[in-house]
Amino acid sequence: MRALLRQSLLILGLACLPAAGEALYLRDKVSWQSPIPASEMVTVADARGWGSNAIWVDARHEEEFSNEHVPGAILLNGDRWNDLLPQVLAAWSPGKRIVVYCSSVSCGSSREVASRLRKEAELKNVFVLEGGWEAWRETTKK
């Protein structure tokens, strides 16, 4: 039993070494305190304040989008990325801000879509809506 514990602890320790090395190597590319840096988030109130300068991108599934969405929002998700991306690019122009949302604060698709828009489409001013669709609904109810 002691040998087992010793081996397990040794493996746990061994795994720390390459993990620490990789973390050190990628330290500038990782947001350590929040999944999305604060500079890439936007509240519903702020995003609404941008008016027509904001392009709303819905990163949920097509069925959810069909049921209800932010007025004027464009559907864009990983399922049909190549088919849907041209619509976003057509709506985009320099100076416009893109606001990506998914269902709630817990979903990850808005983060992924925003990240792909920045990396693959090389768009700037891409933000993730804080609280997602749920937050939008709550705000518009009031």
Partner 1 sequence: MGSVAGDDKEMTTATSNSPPPWTGSATGSAQPSSFRRFAWRILAIVIGALFVYAGVLKAWDPVRFAGDIENYHVLPWAVNVRLAFFLPWLEIICGLGLIFRRLYSGALALVIALLIVFIGASIAAKMRGIDISCGCFGHVSDQLSFAWHLVLDFAILAGALALWRWDRQPHRADG
Q: Which residues bind partner 1 (CB under 8 A)?
A: 3-12, 14-20, 22-23, 26, 29-35, 106, 108, 111-112
Measured from the CB atom, the residue of 4 and 90 that comes closer to partner 1 is 4
Q: Which residues pair with 138 in a beta bridge?
A: none
Residue 40 and residue 128 in contact, taking contact as beta carbons nearer than 8 Å = yes
Name the minimum Å distance from CB 65 to partner 1. Answer: 15
| 3-state DSSP of the chain | CHHHHHHHHHHHHHHHHHHHHHHHHCCCCCCCCCCCCHHHEECHHHHHHCHHHEEEEECCCHHHHHHCCCCCCEECCHHHHHHHHHHHHHHCCCCCEEEEECCCCCCCHHHHHHHHHHHCCCCCCEEEECCHHHHHHHHHHC
Measured from the CB atom, the residue of 2 and 142 that comes closer to partner 1 is 2
Measured from the CB atom, the residue of 55 and 135 that comes closer to partner 1 is 135
Name the minimum Å distance from CB 19 to partner 1. Answer: 4
Name the minimum Å distance from CB 26 to partner 1. Answer: 7
Measured from the CB atom, the residue of 23 and 45 that comes closer to partner 1 is 23
Name the minimum Å distance from CB 59 to partner 1. Answer: 13
